[in-house]
């Protein structure tokens, strides 16, 4: 299963359209999506404990009543459930949106591709810099780099994520560009809400 997930991850990077089509005929597609976001959540949990050990604090308080001093310690424990719930809620909203226009697909059909569409951009533009760059810059409020760098980093990741969700919706639901764009917007909206509530 893990080897299959990694092979699909590579295909989503180099040929996302083909990856989405192939996953439609993959019997274990939904589990590939699940394990992709679960593994990402595990990696992000490791990053959280490293940030806490390095003395980092979030620049802004979270909506959750968690002290800033121990936020990254607590995030170690809720990141995996956060990743899985975000994936499922985003998939459900995207599916309900497309269900208005076509009832030929199941929720499971979008959950497989969506797992990779969410995790791959976040892996490159969140996990890698936060795990390997932030600790080098030393303990401070997070993020430790300039605000404009943070905005560019997040913007590229979000745009890439939107493009992959757009492609997934086009292939899974045979959606026109307007429906696929709506899918991307709704998927990102769910991701943003879950992010703002739980993560910093």
Task: Look at residue 167 and tell me whether its pLDDT is greater than 90.
Answer: yes
Q: pLDDT grade, residue 82 (50/70/90)?
A: very high
Range(s) of the domain holding residue 150: 2-198
Query: Any residues with CB less than 8 A from the CB of 102 and at least 6 apart, and which?
Result: 173, 174, 175
- Report the pLDDT value the prediction gives residue 193, as an integer from 0 to 100: 95
Q: Please indicate whether residue 141 or residue 69 has the higher confidence score (pLDDT).
A: 69
Report the chain's mean pLDDT, rounded to a whole number: 91
- Alpha-carbon distance values, 187 to 45, 129, 177, 180 (Å): 23, 24, 15, 10
Task: Look at residue 18 and tell me whether its pLDDT is greater than 80.
Answer: yes
Query: What's the length of the chain?
Result: 200
Element housing 58 (H / E): strand 57-58
- Range among 17-21, 127-131, 182-186 with highest mean pLDDT value: 182-186
Task: Look at residue 188 and tell me whether its pLDDT is greater than 70.
Answer: yes
Q: Domains in the chain: how many in total?
A: 1
Query: Any residues with CB less than 8 A from the CB of 106 and at least 6 apart, and which?
Result: 95
- Report the pLDDT value the prediction gives residue 68, as an integer from 0 to 100: 85
Q: 8: how many CB neighbours lie within 10 A of its CB?
A: 24
Four-residue CA torsion sign, 184, 41, 53, 193: positive
- Report the pLDDT value the prediction gives residue 112, as an integer from 0 to 100: 95
Closest CA to 1 of 27, 24, 20: 27
- Report the pLDDT value the prediction gives residue 79, as an integer from 0 to 100: 95
Query: Any residues with CB less than 8 A from the CB of 170 and at least 6 apart, and which?
Result: 17, 20, 177, 180
Q: pLDDT grade, residue 1 (50/70/90)?
A: low
pTM comes to 0.92
């Amino acid at each position: 299963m893990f080897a299959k997930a990694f092979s699909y991850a590579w295909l989503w990077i180099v040929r996302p359209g083909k990856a989405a089509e192939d996953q439609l005929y993959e019997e274990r597609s939904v589990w590939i999506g699940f394990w992709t976001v679960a593994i990402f959540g595990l990696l992000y949990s490791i990053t959280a404990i490293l940030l806490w050990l390095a003395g980092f604090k979030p620049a802004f308080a979270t909506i959750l009543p968690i002290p800033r001093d121990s936020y990254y310690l607590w995030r170690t424990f809720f990141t995996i459930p956060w990743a899985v719930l975000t994936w499922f809620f985003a998939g459900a909203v995207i599916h309900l949106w497309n269900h208005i226009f076509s009832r030929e697909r199941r929720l499971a059909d979008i959950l497989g591709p969506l797992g990779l569409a969410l995790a791959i951009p976040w892996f490159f533009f969140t996990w890698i810099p936060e795990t390997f760059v932030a600790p080098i810059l030393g303990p401070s409020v997070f993020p430790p780099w300039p605000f404009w760098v943070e905005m560019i980093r997040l913007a590229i990741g979000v745009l890439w994520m939107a493009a992959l969700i757009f492609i997934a919706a086009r292939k899974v639901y045979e959606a026109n560009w307007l429906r696929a764009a709506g899918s991307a917007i709704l998927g990102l909206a769910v991701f943003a809400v879950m992010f703002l509530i739980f993560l910093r």
